[in-house]
Structure 1
Amino acid sequence: MIDRRRLIKAGMAGPAAMAAGAAAAADAGAEGVRLGKPCVISTWPFGVAANQAAWRVLNGGGRALDAVEAGARVTEADLSNHSVGRAGYPDRDGHVSLDASIMDHDGNCGAVAAIEHIAHPISVARRVMEKTPHVLLAGDGALQFAVEQGFEREELLTPESRIAWQEWLKTAKYQPAANSEASTYGKGKLGTPGGAANHDTIGMLALDAAGNLSGACTTSGMAWKLRGRVGDSPIVGAGLYVDGEVGAATSTGVGEEVIRNCGSFLVVELMRQGRSPAEACKEAVTRILKRKADAKDLQVGFIALNREGEAGAWAIQSGFSWALCDGARQDLVLPGPSFYPAA
């Protein structure tokens, strides 16, 4: 296991130093990271703000389930983020539809898929878990349930997203672009309206002071997708899986490849067999590449956290990064180790 103090020192050096030491950090990340309890990890640099919201719950003695919901809501509300929540890019017909799932250490879970007009699908997913006998509600039924539960119906297509969609319509070219959020987030850009489709997600895993795990995953899915397309994020076992006796995993990237391999369930089962979180994530990515050789041109990344506070990540391509948070630091971002350079 790597020395955490060395990682913190690297994280404090700033973006330039992190870029210069990317290879070394990736090697370190290949071994995984040991975090103190409680702790929370999430996908992408925008996970830092989400982690900080989750940390406020955890640091106050709160439950991991409450923490991941609070953290995911931060990203869902972020108007700078075009792959999650209310500012997500629409499908090719101009409709913003969202997917989310949530799961606790006892296997309780809820999800919504292709829900429109609701800004916080993660909270609707939790209501599905707690208020219904079901796991997944979709489309108009999910919207009806949300409104009945008191969620406000609103227009989610923001002016910025509308401009990007109208620009995309000029060519209507559809091609997923790896790491699109990593390259555009926080820079005030319109993403890649010329054709590339963003496909990133906020996946979050937390371990509370009582030793209980929970996870959340929420996204607007592929930009310019076919209406009704559902990715891995709301599919329990694909985009998210939690087993309180073992650990938890979540994913980001092209959801179709994660679904085909039941990715997050696979990561947890590999941890059950004795692999570390990093090793389990690496094996899950390997399975995807073995089944589909051209997947090397796409991006899929996994993060995992076991009940001891050991965390790990792995991705197909470089460019993926993940955010980590515990009592020692609330804004650490590490590059995810990978097999290939970004296409």
Structure 2
Amino acid sequence: MGSRRSFLQKLGLGTLAVSVLPKFAISESSIIKINKPIVLSTWDFGLKANEEAWQILSNGGRALDAVEKGVRLTEADPSERSVGYGGRPDRDGKVTLDACIMDEHANIGSVAALQNIKHPISVARAVMEKTPHVMLVGEGALQFAKSQGYKEENLLTEESEKEWKEWLKTSKYEPIVNIENHDTIGMIALDANGNLSGACTTSGMAFKMHGRVGDSPIIGAGLYVDNEIGAATATGHGEEVIRTVGSHLVVELMRQGHSPQKACEVAVKRIIKFTQNRGKSLDNIQVGFIALNKRGEYGAYCIHGGFNYAKYDAKGNELIKGKSYLKSNG
């Protein structure tokens, strides 16, 4: 009996020690300062877009509202030639727009090959919130946009039309890294409540075939958000991003324990491997990712140098040069 009592006492003390110490250790080690709110966006036009998003984030607003507001600014700017109004047309002279949006609950909405509507990102959000579908394309997307009160307008500016007519003289499709490939604004944000959302919008590759759709409106390719892990968005040659479901890949790499920076690097190197395995050159292929995790840590990586991204957090708004696999090309 004594030995049994002694055993139980030892067991009780051991259990007590195990039950108390880990909790103490966890409480001590879990005091990690989360960098929130924070918003990231692709390219130098992301600086102005971030300012719009920050107006919402800095007042405790939702990341979803912030990313929509942020990219709408770029969509409406005719001087930004790869997004929205003033975007470069396809080879038929038509400006067709693609966009998608994703919130912290894995709600998603997307439009592709949408014409004559300045803000495809807001139409994508309406698809998410007001339809049983996740993606509308072409004429159907336009009909839906009009049903939601969006007005048709000509998105082909005089400057874009002039470029298109000049291109028609040769009709040679030869994307230039960081110019024609500089084609998207992707934005991801973590709000003060610790929730993530993202948005992605583009007019796509300049002088593409009519009907071509890239990665930007495809959830998992151009954008992906997992509120338990992080978010990622892509820019560049959409066909290559689709081939690896790139943004989803970045988030899954973060799930496996990679930092946002390392996850972007691994994803880009996989695209490079796939490209080389197909006997293709990297000369005219640019892909870049930006990523953000739940702690507010972030990173970016691309194939060619010349890619940059904007970051806005409590330290301010700044443009950051993305790390690259190859040297600067533009």
Same fold (TM over 0.5): yes
- Which residue number in structure 2 is paired with residue 252 of structure 1? 235
Structure 1 residues 88-126: Cα deviation after superposition (integer angstroms, max 9, x where no partner)? 010000000000000011110100000000000000000
- Which residue number in structure 2 is paired with residue 338 of structure 1? 324
Structure 2 alignment gaps of length 5 or more? 1-32
Q: Distance in 2 between matches of 1:198 and 1:326?
A: 28
- 1:323–1:295: structure 2 CA closer, same or farther, 3 Å change rule? farther
Task: State the SS of the aligned residue for 2:77.
Answer: coil
- Which residue number in structure 1 is paired with residue 50 of structure 2? 51
Structure 2 residue 222 is matched with structure 1 residue 239: yes
- Which residue number in structure 1 is paired with residue 74 of structure 2? 75
Does the CA-based 8 Å contact 1:176-1:199 persist in structure 2?
Answer: no
Count the aligned residue pairs. Answer: 293
Structure 1 residues 43-98: Cα deviation after superposition (integer angstroms, max 9, x where no partner)? 00110000000000101111000000000101101111110011101000000000
Structure 2 residue 299 is matched with structure 1 residue 312: yes
Does the CA-based 8 Å contact 2:181-2:237 persist in structure 1?
Answer: no
Structure 1 residues 272-315: Cα deviation after superposition (integer angstroms, max 9, x where no partner)? 00000000000000110111113522100000000110000000
AA in 1 matched with 2:308 = S
Quote the offset at 1:170 in angstroms.
Answer: 1.1
Could you list the structure 1 runs, at least 4 aligned residues long, displaced by more than 3 angstroms after superposition. none
Q: Distance in 2 between matches of 1:172 and 1:165?
A: 9
Does the CA-based 8 Å contact 1:38-1:208 persist in structure 2?
Answer: yes
- Flag the structure with more relative contact order, 1 or 2, with Cα contacts below 8 A and sequence separation at least 6: 1
- Which residue number in structure 1 is paired with residue 201 of structure 2? 218
- Choose 1 or 2 for highest CA Rg: 2
Q: Distance in 1 between matches of 2:146 and 2:281?
A: 39
AA in 2 matched with 1:339 = Y
Structure 1 alignment gaps of length 5 or more? 1-33, 181-196
- Which residue number in structure 2 is paired with residue 66 of structure 1? 65
- 1:232–1:295: structure 2 CA closer, same or farther, 3 Å change rule? farther
AA in 2 matched with 1:333 = L
- Which residue number in structure 1 is paired with residue 275 of structure 2? 292
Q: Distance in 2 between matches of 1:47 and 1:85?
A: 14
Does the CA-based 8 Å contact 1:199-1:221 persist in structure 2?
Answer: no
Q: Distance in 2 between matches of 1:251 and 1:342?
A: 19
Q: CA RMSD in A?
A: 1.1
Q: Distance in 2 between matches of 1:138 and 1:35?
A: 39
Q: Distance in 1 between matches of 2:247 and 2:281?
A: 17
- Which residue number in structure 2 is paired with residue 152 of structure 1? 151
Q: Distance in 2 between matches of 1:35 and 1:165?
A: 47
